[in-house]
Homo-oligomer: A and B are copies of this chain.
Amino acid sequence: MDALELCRQGLEEVASDRRRGASQLARRCLAIIVDYARAYPAKDGHALAEAVQTLALDLRDARPSMAALRNLVDNFLVCLPQVRGQPIELARPAVMRSASEIAEQSRQAVMDASRHAAALIDEGRTVITHSLSSTLLAAFRSLAARRVRAVITESCPLREGLVLAQELSRLGIDTEYITDAQIGLFAAHADLALVGADTLLRDGSAVNKAGTYLLALAAYDAGIPFYVCCESFKFSDLSAGEVTLEQMATSELAAPQLPHVHLRNVYFDITPARLITAVVTEHGVLTSSANRSRCSSPPETGP
């Protein structure tokens, strides 16, 4: 299989990936673009830009619930008009460099957001979370020395919780691993809830793995803060009514096909802004009201 075919296969992997979060998948898209730009047999910048743009648009639309993917690819597409007039020996490295730089910005934003999130959590506190998020994992890495405790969920159907359990075990963080159904029981014993997000919507609500909304309800009922931590690349101009919540293969439920019974596997739910205490990005901590008005006013910067 040649390099171009590998890139096309990469697109399919992004579309079907159920384990990686939006940030990781968005950067994976940029890495695929780099590989494609390196391998595509174009005679000039125009031909390269055309080919790369086609792939980039396919990648952008592969995961409609993930704003980061759309935003990072859109940021990349801005470089293309400039390279169209260039000879191929200049255009090729320019395209590759542009994609790499945006991936690096995303990586840095994740680190900065996780650092701001970690600063919210005092020594010895218990953090309850749901699903697996690279931002959250980075926050736990900062927290390992501060003897925080974690409550993590199985996160069915694919059980990303098992991966998070392994990572937290390696970090030496005292962790309770629960079924998704126990979220209510354990939220009552935690000091705060902290989750990642796949997309943050215009109205301040957060799209994340199904079950996140239940954790937010339980946190609210238990009177503990509920923080969403994500880089600002995940902000979307869509509102809750406009977003597509992806449905995945019902075979993941491993349940038999029965007459009159429809298996449902909606991967994401929407946590309304009213249940979110603050959104933590690379810019700092945005309280819920700042979050709601983030389009019209500058965000508060955190610690």
Contact = CB atoms under 8 A, between A and B. Distances in A.
B154 A182 contact: no
Interface in A206-245: 209-211, 213-214, 217-218, 221, 245
A43 B11 CA distance: 81
Interface in A142-200: 154-157, 161-162, 165-166, 168-169, 172-186
Contact of A156 (B180, B217, B218): B180
Contacts of A269: 181-182, 184-185
Nearest to A157: B179
Chain A interface category by residue count: 35 or more
A3 interface: no
Contact of A255 (B130, B177, B211): B177
B260 A210 contact: no
Given A162-B256, A169-B260, A175-B260, A217 B154 contact: no
B210 A218 contact: no
Interface in A233-277: 245, 253, 255-256, 258-266, 269
Given A154-B156, A255-B165, A262 B177 contact: yes
A263 B210 contact: no
A181 B260 contact: no
Contacts of A259: 169, 172
Nearest to A166: B258
Most buried by B among A130, A211, A218, A265: A211
A261 B165 contact: yes
Contacts of A168: 260-261
Interface in A78-118: none
Contacts of A245: 185
A181 B169 contact: no
Contacts of A155: 181
A214 B180 CA distance: 10
Contacts of A180: 156, 179-181, 211
A155 B260 CA distance: 19
B165 A258 contact: yes
A256 B130 CA distance: 19
Interface of A: 130, 154-157, 161-162, 165-166, 168-169, 172-186, 209-211, 213-214, 217-218, 221, 245, 253, 255-256, 258-266, 269
Given A154-B253, A184-B213, 19 more contacts: A156-B181, A157-B179, A162-B255, A165-B255, A165-B258, A175-B260, A176-B263, A177-B253, A177-B255, A177-B264, A181-B209, A181-B210, A182-B264, A184-B217, A185-B269, A213-B218, A217-B217, A217-B218, A217-B221
